[in-house]
Structure 1
């Protein structure tokens, strides 16, 4: 079990929950409505979250730099912090209570990662995450790993890794309707939001690749589809 993963996740959740309760208290004083306000965003949807990490001895491989898989682990913290600060995670929690279903969730549905520069032992780095797009099923995120600016006082900043990923909504309401990003956004008070009309070129390509890549495995366990 990755104990440190759970400890860091709990610390992020605890900090965000404290901010959420303070925001709820402020909003409930200002809003006079018969329907209680259950969740509010701490930050707007275009907010860019920031978390800091360090390459520890347990993170390295035989080349003495951070193992490829650790980038995915660290990226989790960036996405989780952003879903906390924008209120998406709390909207999921309230939906579970309302629909009386623990199956409602946001799960990682796809990821595209590009390695640019290795992160060495003991080096610290910053992860910046932003929500770039959403459609009828998923939220799309962009993430960048940058070497700690205090450690490497250089311009332009040293980018180590870039990631595109999508968190897909799963579950359904008691009426049988599938959960969608727009439902969660409406729960956060964004009543007039729609699916963005335009998406950046790299998000568009990412979505197309996700749909096109469907490998087929035969009975012998061999991949037989053409890439």
Structure 2
């Protein structure tokens, strides 16, 4: 299931965090929720990529880039992603997502 409530939260809270340069690091505090886990009771690797999208949304909104994208009718595409999983994230574990262009 797609995390619709988290998506809404990202869009609502990004504006309140203040302005941000496109090249600055965005830090989001998150928690592993029951809908994020797999049969091993840890964060699903597919869901991790979805959570990474929230970092992109935060950077784009706070830097004003999303407004330009909408005005010019552009699209944002991720051509590829290379992920190296270093630690397991368990249910209800808190973590920080760092995003930077």
Tell me, in whole angstroms, the C-alpha distance in 2 between the residues paired with 1:79 and 1:60. Answer: 22
SS of corresponding position for 1:45 = coil
Unaligned runs of 5+ in 2: none
Match of 2:4 in 1: 6
Deviations 1:106-146 (A, max 9, x none): 12211111001110111111101111xxxxxxxxxxxxxxx
Structure 1 counterpart of 2:84, from 114, 117, 120: 114
Q: 1:39-50 residue pairs with structure 2 within 5 A?
A: 42-50=19-27
Tell me, in whole angstroms, the C-alpha distance in 1 between the residues paired with 2:37 and 2:93. Answer: 11
Tell me, in whole angstroms, the C-alpha distance in 1 between the residues paired with 2:38 and 2:15. Answer: 36
Matched, 1:88 2:65: yes
Match of 1:130 in 2: 100
* Cα RMSD (Å): 2.1
Q: Residues 49 and 129 of structure 1 are in contact (CA less than 8 Å); yes or no, is this contact kept in structure 2? A: yes
**1 or 2, which has the higher helix percentage?**
2
Q: Residues 15 and 62 of structure 2 are in contact (CA less than 8 Å); yes or no, is this contact kept in structure 1? A: no
**1 or 2, which has the higher strand percentage?**
1
TM-score computed with the length of structure 2 as normaliser: 0.84
Provide the aligned length of Structure 1 versus Structure 2: 101
Q: Which has the larger radius of gyration?
A: 1
Tell me, in whole angstroms, the C-alpha distance in 2 between the residues paired with 1:62 and 1:17. Answer: 36
TM-score computed with the length of structure 1 as normaliser: 0.40
Choose between structure 1 and 2 for higher RCO, CA contacts under 8 A separated by at least 6 residues.
2
Structure 2 counterpart of 1:55, from 25, 28, 32: 32
SS of corresponding position for 1:72 = helix
